[in-house]
Every structure is written in structure tokens, then in C-alpha cells.
Amino acid sequence: MKLYPHYVVVGFSNSYLISGKESSAAVIIDPGRFDAKMLSLIENNKLKICAVLLTNSHKSHVSGIKTLLKIYDAKIYCYHASLFGIKTIPVRDRQQIKCGDLTFTVIETPGHSTDSVVYRLGDWLFTGDTLSAGLTGTTPNLQAHILQLKKIREKLLPLGDELIVFPGHGPPTRLGIERRYNVMLNELCPRARRNVSFF
């Protein structure tokens, strides 16, 4: 597998282009913007975009979709059945998505938004806004925050300390580092209290 992390100006977010070992089939996760850099990367490596995976439908993760679809005939996978009037393939917990020799597993983690999901590919986790280095996603209310923490603790942390987390914003991290040091996971800290609109 090859991974091309890409910094997106929209919302200071991350896009990831992943290609398989054996085929030219490739996947884009969260195209917050589809720019010339991403285009040349795909073309220079002779990749064929077969799928776009969305971790949530917020602007900083999806703004590049319309441009991308003008160039490539890719399937869009997200929690909802449509996005901006574009028909998508809805994903659900434990669903597997295959693209060439890449197989992603969907992990539903609602909280930051009702449609938040994480994609696992081997030892890599693409966590979108659910979990980033030292932080968790902002949430609309206290219940959503508690739900997000529950999903992270129950579904992500048990996967193993060595797993590499590629978040939707900020630098990568390891799951073990987050388990030990992410203040948002360990208690309802002041930042977490500000993180919800309830307070």
C-alpha cells in the first residue's frame, strides 16, 4: 500500500490518497479540496480513483467532491445515501469496502456528527474528526460528546496501541499515545466542557 497525505487549506484539514500494492486502484479519503497537487499526484502515478470515502459530511472534508467527480467516475461512500444531491453508497458499522487489493472496514463513531465514521485499513485508522492527536472532535451537545467518548473507548482504543491514527485535522498519532495522554478521553475536562454547547 502507498499513502499520500495531503494538507488541505479548507479548514486546515487532511486528505489521504491510498493506492494498493498490486493494482492502480486508489481511494481518496475526505477530499476537502481537489486541487492541482492532488490531480498531478494521481496522474503521475497512473492511479485510478475507484472510491471516495468520507468520514463525515462537514465542509472541510467534502468540498472537493464536485470537482473530483468532473474528472473521475468514483463511487462515493458515506453514512448518508446522498450528498449535495449526489447519490452515494451508505456505509454501516463493520461493512467492508473493497477497492483493488485494499479492504477498508467501517467503524461507526457518531458524536462529532451523527454521520461520523472511521475507516480501518490494516494497521491504519482514518479517524476524521472523531479522534485526532490530543483532541477529540467538537460536538453539538453534551450527549453527543459522551456518545463520542463511548464509541472511542469501546470501538477504537481496544484495537491496539500500535495502530497509526491518520486524523482529519492535525498530525498523525498512535492509538496508544491517545489512550495514555488524550485529555479529552480521560475525563470531562474544561476543554471538553467548552466543547459542547450545553454549558
Partner 1 sequence: MDTLNSREKTLCSFTGCSQEALFKSARCAHHLEDIGHYMSMLKEFLLSTKDFSCLNLSNLVFSDLTIEGKYFYFCNLHASIFTNCEFDNINFQLSFFDSCRFFNCRFNEGRIGWSVLADSLFDKCTFSKQDIFRSNFNACRLKHTSFQNSSLFTSRFIKADFFHSEFVDCNLLRVHFEYAQLNDTLFKNSNQEEAIFDSERIEE
Residues that bind partner 1 (CB under 8 A): 1-7, 11-14, 37, 41, 60, 122-124, 129, 133-135, 137-138, 164, 168-174, 177, 180-181, 183, 189-191, 194-195
CB of 124 to partner 1, least distance (A): 8
CB 100, min distance to partner 1, A: 14
| Least gap, CB of 187 to partner 1 (angstroms) | 12
123 φ, ψ to 5°? -90, 10
Residue 48 or 75 with smaller CB distance to partner 1: 48
> Of 82 and 197, which CB lies nearer to partner 1 in the complex structure?
197
Q: Name the minimum Å distance from CB 51 to partner 1.
A: 18
Nearest CB to partner 1, comparing residues 84 and 181:
181
Query: E strands within the chain?
Result: 2-8, 13-19, 25-29, 48-53, 75-78, 82-83, 86-87, 89-90, 96-99, 102-108, 117-121, 124-128, 131-132, 135-136, 164-167, 173-174
The residue among 6 and 120 lying less far from partner 1, judged by its C-beta, is 6
State which residue, 90 or 190, has the beta carbon closest to partner 1. 190
Residue-by-residue DSSP string for 11-46: GGEEEEEEE-SSSSEEEEE--S---HHHHHHHHHTT
CB atoms within 10 A of CB 145: 24
CB of 14 to partner 1, least distance (A): 8
